[in-house]
Structure 1
Amino acid sequence: MAFMGVELFDIGATTEEELRSVHRVVLAAQAVDRPDEVPVTFEALVGGLRSPPAGFGPRRYWVARRDSEIVAVAFVNLPDAENSHLALVTITVHPRLRRMGIGTAFLRDLLPRLEGRTVVEGWEITSGGAGEHWATSVGFRVVNTMVLQLLPVADVDRSTWDVPVPAGYRVQDWVGAAPGALLESFAHARNTLRDAPFGDIDFQAPLWNRDRVREAEADLRARGVEQRMVVAVHEESGDVVGVTEVEVRPHRPFWASQRETSVLGAHRGHGLGRCIKAHMARRLLADRPDIERFYTTTSADNAHMIRVNEAIGYRTVRTQVSVKQDVTVLTAHPRVLG
């Protein structure tokens, strides 16, 4: 079979058979690289392709073929604003065709198509696995380590969610849109995430303000994503001082994606992080008893947040790395040059 190069893959215009070919590649790779995960269904994969996670800019899809068979796929996010120099790239090669130069050829063809981005990052690569070995062999360097943690609802002791609200604070929650009275301090509190440890990755969390919060909320509604927030409010000032966020996405309606959690520095040490995460679990399950699991990623350097998660039932199932490199360095690497 001859390698035919890469081509842009239009999710909206392709056939079901082509989508099933992509699913076969992703499913086979998952079985080898992430055997502890629940296998992704065809419906979940297609839903995720059509409605990718928000906050990372538009996503492009590329496929590589040998003869007419799709043997590798790439997901490319092109963030904006603080991250407009960056391309987030995931290349997946069918396991039976690895070590044949397909991934490297794919990268070679993809680099000139990144719309002027100067830095490439790859995330959620299984530590010590084939993806990490390949990435470092073509010039990427490891810049961060994360842990994937799961909370299986059926197995958790829900008494761990009975966490009292510390004196001087109250907990408030909402679905979809932040109350106007809290909007300013809520945006300010979300910016605390910019100080969290994320190694040496280039990607910067958004610099939130009122308008940006509303734009993000509208984008999630348009995608059919249910966004839930739980905040800790300082009673004396009336300000939001702690935030935790969960998303439930339409293509995986029984899974809850636990996203950012942050507490302002002046209010740490009171157990607010654990309090708002426990409240989130209780409230979500009260409204959505069909939720089967929560999942989250946390920097391996953030020992405190890992302990907070463990205290309410999360368990670590995998260590993952992020890699990055300048486009010019990758382009000039001997293996990529061929």
Structure 2
Amino acid sequence: MTNDLIVERFDTSVATESDFAAYHAVLAASQAVDRPGEPPLPLGELVARMRRPLPGMGAVAYWVARFDDEVVAFAEVNFLDEENSDIGLTDVRVHPAHRRRGIGVVILRALLPELKLQGLGVVEGWEVAEGTAGQAWAEALGFRPVRTIARQVLVVAEADRALWEVDVPDGYRLSQWVGSAPAGVVDSYAVARGAIHDAPLGESEYRWPEWTASRVRAYEAELQSQGLVQRVAAAIHETSGAVAGFTELCVHPRRPDWGYQRDTAVLASHRGNDLGRCLKAHMTRWVLADCPELDRISTTTGAENVHMIRVNRAVGYTTLPSLIAVQQELSSVEAMLGRRVEV
């Protein structure tokens, strides 16, 4: 079959509605098998994300594999920037009806010239569902698991709202904003964002951003340019007036029923005061008061981060099957694919 396979770049600027629908069909079919029971990404949302990727993931390129004019696989590569410019974040999906025919190898091989042109050193994948054919395929090609990503979701209709009634600890007050941090706290907010560096990343090559006030402003502007509504709830230390911890949640107008819980961090000197649970409980009440159509909030964290997983459970999140981050040096990928491989 692979002799008749055509792999080509997928140009979102000229793709037709039927092109996007064929791409989406592979995504939906693979998700139904690998992540059963999860709501699928709507076609319209996929198209919007492909035409203008979400912030923080760098430039992105797409490929599709066709057999008899049918799209049977796709690949996406995010070319991360700044601290992570050596990493090509790669996702390969093959339609379940066409797996175990070498298609994944062919499309991965087709990416190599672009990965080399970008000067990358490492290929990582973060979308491998644990225990699925995708994990077996990646490991057969020499990719090693470097991190387990715990996924959790708050389904609003099933949650116990009493869990969101949490008092603010003594010595702190809560502050909240949409879009831009107040000028008086942006510097300490940047410091608090840096506390995310304590969150475990396993053996992944990925590195957390180095936050400064100017980087916070650039990040806020990027979110706003995409139409993402960013909410931040922060705990302010009464004595110093500085941000001691924060939690961040984004909602996109294209998908008002779904919230994305992003970074949450508390400075080491303020841990042990129940700030994480307080902030997430407050955030949940706040966002649902403003966005009553929201029916679920999703989040991820490292499986080793048992404290954050416990905090999420304490405010009503339930656990989904994990993802496995896999990694291999580009030179090793090239050497492996230079040989005849059928997996």
| TM band (smaller chain) | over 0.9
Q: Which portions of structure 1, spanning 4 or more consecutive aligned residues, are displaced by more than 3 angstroms? A: 1-5, 334-338
In the other structure, the counterpart of 2:284 is: 281
Q: Is the 8 A contact 1:73 1:93 kept in 2?
A: yes
- 1:300 and 1:29 mapped to 2: Cα distance? 24
- 2:4 and 2:233 mapped to 1: Cα distance? 50
In the other structure, the counterpart of 2:61 is: 60
In the other structure, the counterpart of 2:230 is: 227
In the other structure, the counterpart of 2:21 is: 20
The reply on whether 1:333 has 2:323 as its aligned counterpart is no
Query: What letter is aligned with 2:172?
Result: Y
Report how many aligned residue pairs link the two structures. 338
Q: Secondary structure at the match of 1:211?
A: helix
In the other structure, the counterpart of 2:96 is: 95
* Cα deviation, residue 250, structure 1: 3.4
Q: Which moved more, 1:246-255 or 1:128-137?
A: 246-255
Q: Secondary structure at the match of 1:233?
A: strand
Q: Secondary structure at the match of 2:184?
A: helix
Q: Is the 8 A contact 1:150 1:315 kept in 2?
A: yes
- Write out aligned runs for 1:178-193 (5 A): 178-193=181-196
- 1:53 and 1:143 mapped to 2: Cα distance? 24
1:3/1:83 Cα in 2 relative to 1: closer, same or farther (>3 Å)?
farther
In the other structure, the counterpart of 2:82 is: 81
* Cα deviation, residue 68, structure 1: 2.2
- Write out aligned runs for 1:1-338 (5 A): 2-114=3-115, 115-333=118-336, 337-338=340-341
Query: What letter is aligned with 2:92?
Result: I
Q: Is the 8 A contact 2:245 2:276 kept in 1?
A: yes
* Cα deviation, residue 249, structure 1: 2.1
- 1:49 and 1:267 mapped to 2: Cα distance? 40
- 2:255 and 2:76 mapped to 1: Cα distance? 19
Query: What letter is aligned with 2:260?
Result: S
Q: Is the 8 A contact 2:109 2:337 kept in 1?
A: no
Query: What letter is aligned with 1:121?
Result: E
Any stretches of 5+ residues in structure 2 without a counterpart? Answer: none
1:132-183: CA deviation from partner (whole Å, max 9, x where unpaired): 1110011100000011111000111111000100000011111101111001
Any stretches of 5+ residues in structure 1 without a counterpart? Answer: none
Q: Secondary structure at the match of 2:311?
A: helix
* Cα deviation, residue 334, structure 1: 6.0
Q: Share of identical aligned residues, percent? A: 48
Q: Which moved more, 1:106-115 or 1:301-310?
A: 106-115
- 1:223 and 1:3 mapped to 2: Cα distance? 39
Query: What letter is aligned with 1:279?
Result: H
Query: What letter is aligned with 1:127?
Result: E
* Cα deviation, residue 39, structure 1: 2.2
Tell me how large the CA RMSD over aligned residues is. 1.3
1:285-329: CA deviation from partner (whole Å, max 9, x where unpaired): 111111000110121111111110000000002111100110001
Query: What letter is aligned with 1:8?
Result: R
